[in-house]
Structure 1
Amino acid sequence: NRRALYQKGVVMNLLNPKVSLFFLAFLPQFIHPGTFNVTTQILVYGMLFLIQAFVIFVMVSLFAEKVGDRLRRSPQAAKKVHVLEGSLFTLIGLKIAVSQR
């Protein structure tokens, strides 16, 4: 159900502390107290961020849906993805095994 997935995504983003940290750490450097009302500037920048994030997330989700459909219809593609995943996990495991720490 797409609505349930959308609601889950909204809740996850609202509870994600990285978004708050981004606004607290990164956004204030673009605020210029002498030009406009500071609150207005923060609201405008916040809305611009929300709009661009929405557009990007919609594009990523549409792309992922198309790729997912294609992978579900093709057993050969799914097998290649599984081989790639297994290879990557093996390489990561080897890297951890030979690391100094």
Structure 2
Amino acid sequence: MRQHTIQLLPLTVAGIEAVNANSDISFGRHTHDQFGIGLMDSGGQKSLYTGVAYLLFMAWQTLRDKTLLSADCPGLALSHRALIQQAVVANLLNPKLSLFFLAFLPQFIAARDVHPTQSMLILSAIFAAMTFAVFSLYGIFASAVSHSVLGNHRVMTGIRWGVALAFTAVGIRLAMTVQ
């Protein structure tokens, strides 16, 4: 099964490239223009410098904002069950996860495996369990430190300056790009 997949991959890529080359609707200009990305092509320097100005404006606004962030969002309070359901649905609908399983896990299944689908499901379940354990630890750690970090004025000032510097650096980098 794996050999057939590897043999068909170049043909699939060639087919997608052929469709893309002959159709603006598949992956080309139509899709990009719908989302405004095509403006960078047609707007030229004007849109580039508008983006730079916006990034610098965001940096300035970040520095001016003196309010502390809060981890409490009363309008968005979700039960633990609803939060877990939302996370599961988001991950199931994320195509990157499925593509990762299809690209990464087959290399650990023997070519002569009698039940490759079953082996793939077992490996996927092991990976999911390990991911759940690690992300649970991340969540517990983040919950434990969030209030102390968000409530510390010095830490929040450092974060604010870091974000403002990142906006400024990206803006300067964008301004220096040659088209």
The TM-score normalised by the length of structure 1 is 0.85
Higher Cα Rg, which structure: 2
What are the Cα deviations for residues 66-96 of structure 1, in whole angstroms up to 9, with x where unaligned? 2321122212221211111111111111111
Of residues 28-37 and 49-58 in structure 1, the stretch that sits farther from structure 2 once superposed is 28-37
Residue 80 of structure 1 corresponds to 158
One-letter code of the match for 2:133? V
SS across alignment from 2:178: coil
What are the Cα deviations for residues 39-83 of structure 1, in whole angstroms up to 9, with x where unaligned? 221121011110111012112212222232112221222121111
One-letter code of the match for 1:42? M
Of residues 65-74 and 18-27 in structure 1, the stretch that sits farther from structure 2 once superposed is 65-74
Shift of 1:100: 2.2
Identity rate of aligned residues, in percent? 35
Higher RCO (CA 8 Å, separation ≥ 6 residues): 2
Task: List 4+ stretches of structure 1 deviating above 6 A.
Answer: none
Distance 1:61 1:94 in 2: 35
Q: Give the direction of change, closer, same or farther, for the CA distance of 1:88–1:67 in structure 2 (3 Å limit).
A: farther
One-letter code of the match for 2:132? F
Of residues 72-81 and 12-21 in structure 1, the stretch that sits farther from structure 2 once superposed is 72-81
Residue 63 of structure 1 corresponds to 141
One-letter code of the match for 2:177? S
Number of equivalenced pairs? 101
Higher helix share: 1
Q: Give the CA RMSD over aligned residues.
A: 1.7
Q: Give the direction of change, closer, same or farther, for the CA distance of 1:2–1:67 in structure 2 (3 Å limit).
A: farther
Structure 2, unpaired ranges of 5+: 1-77
Residue 47 of structure 1 corresponds to 125
Q: Give the direction of change, closer, same or farther, for the CA distance of 1:2–1:77 in structure 2 (3 Å limit).
A: farther
